[in-house]
Amino acid sequence: MNRYEEETLAELLRLLPPAPEAWVKAAQELPPARGRLDELVARAEADAKYREELMANLERALEEAGLEPNPAVVDAVRDRLSKE
């Protein structure tokens, strides 16, 4: 038995611990979240007053829509709305 090699394998296994569960879950829920996001943006495009309110407090609006207001989501919405 080559003990050195087994210790190396053990070290390599330790290099890939699981990511935090909540992060994985949030990423897995991207497709349904993206659907809700599309609805939100469509509404903002059709309603100037709503768009103004949305941009003023984007994080809160996302939370109210059941979306995790992480920076990636917030930036994506800002990008989409600023392109209009």
Partner 1 sequence: MRFDGAVQTDAQLVARCRVGDQEAWRELVERFSRYVYAIAVQAYRLPEHDAEDVFQDVFTRVYEKLPQLRDDSAVRPWIAQLTRRSCVDKLREGGRVELVEEPVDTAEEGTLERIEEAWAVRDALATLPDTCQEVLDRFFARDESYRTIGEALEIPSGTIASRISRCLAQLREQWEGRIAPPSASGGRIR
Answer yes or no whether residue 83 interacts with partner 1 by CB under 8 A: no
- Of the pair 34, 78, the CB lying nearest partner 1 is at 34
For residues 71 and 73, give the distance between their C-alpha atoms in angstroms, rounded to a whole number.
5
- Cα 72 to the chain's mean position, in Å? 5
- Of the pair 20, 49, the CB lying nearest partner 1 is at 20
Torsion of CA 36, 70, 54, 81, to 10 degrees: -80
37 and 73 Cβ atoms separated by less than 8 Å = yes
Q: Which stretch binds partner 1 (CB under 8 A): 27-35, 38-46, 48-56, 58-66?
A: 27-35
Answer yes or no whether residue 38 interacts with partner 1 by CB under 8 A: no
The token duo for 42 is 């469509």
Interface with partner 1 (CB under 8 A): 1-2, 5-6, 9-10, 12-20, 23-24, 26-28, 30-32, 34, 70-73, 76
